[in-house]
Amino acid sequence: MAKDSKLILDPLADNNPITIQVLGICSALAITAELEASIVMSISVLFVLGVGNVVISLMRNIIPSKIRIIVQLIVVATLVIIVDLILKAFAYELSKTLSVFVGLIITNCIIMGRFEAFALGNGPWRSFLDGIGNALGYGIILVIVGFFRELLGSGTLLGFPVLGDPIEKTGLYALGYENNGFMLLSPMALIVVGIIIWVQRTRNKDLIED
Amino acid sequence: MEHLELFFKSIFIDNMVFATFLGMCSYLAVSKKVSTAVGLGAAVIFVLAITVPLNWLLDQYILQPGALSWLGDEYAAYDLSFLSFIMFIATIATMVQLVEIVVEKFSPSLYNSLGIFLPLIAVNCAILGGSLFMQSREIPTLGLSAVYGVGSGIGWFLAILAIAAIREKIRYSSVPPALRGLGITFIITGLMAIGFMSFGGMLTGGDEEAKSEEKTAATEVIKEDVKSDTEVKTNLDVAENTNK
């Protein structure tokens, strides 16, 4: 049982898919200008990785190893189509913001990486836990980046103004605070992730590369 | 002229790595040495140049709403666009496999330099992203889609070449220990992306850019009454986003 909980807890910090394993960066950076988009993206990946890991794990003994990449891609693509259609039906505006990045979950290296490294060699239940753990580890970074970019960039969280009104000059703006529009531009995502990595490795010296 | 414009636009302004973060995984993993970076970059150009036009044909004649009308009127109402992810990725995976076999057979020397990277490429988001952006930007002709594929490939190649060269040199600098390796690479890429943003003004002669400038100018006029810089800034961002 302790082993099972390790499967979920490890990827959250010391074996985080983004900051340590360097997987799934593309989508992590492109859609984090708003917290809401980050959360939806994390949930989508959670669904695809959790279900996909179980499916691959169930099929692991009948997939010929030579064509496994194509089989894996087809499984992911099917799941992603489901996610895409659900988003289009229930959150159309958001699916416009995410645009092609929902489709790019297919080539999100976290998913292929976990299929290859874990689901092909383990039973369905453990694969499910591993999928959930890694997707949560991915989600945590997305939410942190999204939180800071939206807060500092537009002064809102999930669309609600938390720092006061920039036009009426209430709240923090009364003191002369200004939004940093630069945070909304794409390069800042890279720098924010860089800083997260810096903080994490300063706290845990074992992770430092030489 | 149209082709040339799209070519430069896809290399510099819409650079895959710096503007849309596509293919970051292999970009970070395979950029420790210039020689391997060149190999992977060349393979990406090669595969993008083949798969983007191919997927354009698929999109145009099978997937788009009404695309099947060449089969007869009764098929004109079909809309298969929900299948595009699975079709694109299947095309890419098969093409990569096919290219690998052909190259191995006819040019062993090219295979030795590209070969090991080809399997990596099937799951590189830059390749699928190229096809998806081709679809969402509605590129009108086959020729333009080929130009777009080659252009984005070259843009990716430039990016990985630049970061590999920087990483080879950075070994001699004293980076804070916790930032070494991955962390500093992220921050350098961020700074390079800021640099690449300055290419945004390169094609201001084009219609799109001119339109967005008009739009921002209009918002500025309105906002002058309110005298709030912040609002203009957010409006600029909104205008930029819609323009994208």
- Residues B129-175: tens digit of each pLDDT: 888 888 888 888 888 999 999 999 999 999 999 999 998 888 888 88
The per-residue pLDDT for B198 is 83
Interchain proximity B229–A178, CB inside 8 Å: yes
* Count of A-B CB contacts under 8 Å: 157
Report which of residues B27 and A165 the model is more confident about: B27
Interchain proximity A198–B82, CB inside 8 Å: no
The domain spans of chain A are 2-201
Q: What is the pLDDT of residues B62-121, one digit of tens each?
A: 888 777 777 777 777 777 778 888 888 888 888 888 878 887 888 787 777 666 667 667
CB burial of A172-186 (b: ≥16 within 10 Å; e: otherwise) equals ebeeeeebebebbbb
| pTM more than 0.90 | no
The per-residue pLDDT for B208 is 52
The reply to whether ipTM tops 0.95 is: no
Q: CA B129, CA B117: separation in Å to the nearest integer?
A: 18
Contact B10, B203 (CB under 8 A): no
Return residues 181-210 of A near B (CB < 8 Å).
181, 184-191, 193-195, 197-198, 201-202, 205, 208-210
Does the structure show a pLDDT above 90 at B31? no
Mean per-residue pLDDT of chain B:
77
